[in-house]
Amino acid sequence: MHDGCSGSFEDGKHVVDKVRMMGFSEQFMPIPLTVICGGCAKEFEMETFECKCPQCGSVHAVTPCHAFDPANVASAGVGY
């Protein structure tokens, strides 16, 4: 069920699935992060634990335990 902060993920889709399963997708993060899109490499601000790049629609997510560092944000691809 919940792996706490020690969970490991194979790819960005697993991170998005985990955030959705936990019910955090639409919740605001404590501090917004400036991230580089994994799809188009454009910079954008991520305010919720799951969000889409406004340029290309690539879905990104980060788990609450790791929401302090943009390096932990994973991309699941466009339209995921």
pLDDT tens per residue across span 17-67? 999 999 999 999 999 999 999 999 999 999 999 999 999 999 999 999 999
- pLDDT bin (cut points 50, 70, 90) of residue 1 is very low
| Percentages (nearest 5) of helix, strand, coil residues in the chain | 25, 35, 40
For residue 74, what are the domain limits?
Answer: 23-78
Instruction: Quote the CA–CA distance of 57 and 44 in Å, as a whole number.
Output: 11
What pLDDT shows up at residue 5? Answer: 66
- Number of structural domains (the chain) is 1
Q: What is the pTM of this model?
A: 0.89
What pLDDT shows up at residue 4? Answer: 56
- 38 part of a folded domain: yes
Question: In three state form, how does the secondary structure of 41-74 look?
Answer: CCEEEEEECEEECCCCCEEEECCHHHCCCHHHCE
CB proximity list for 70: less than 8 A, separation 6 or greater: 33, 34, 35, 36, 46
- 35 part of a folded domain: yes
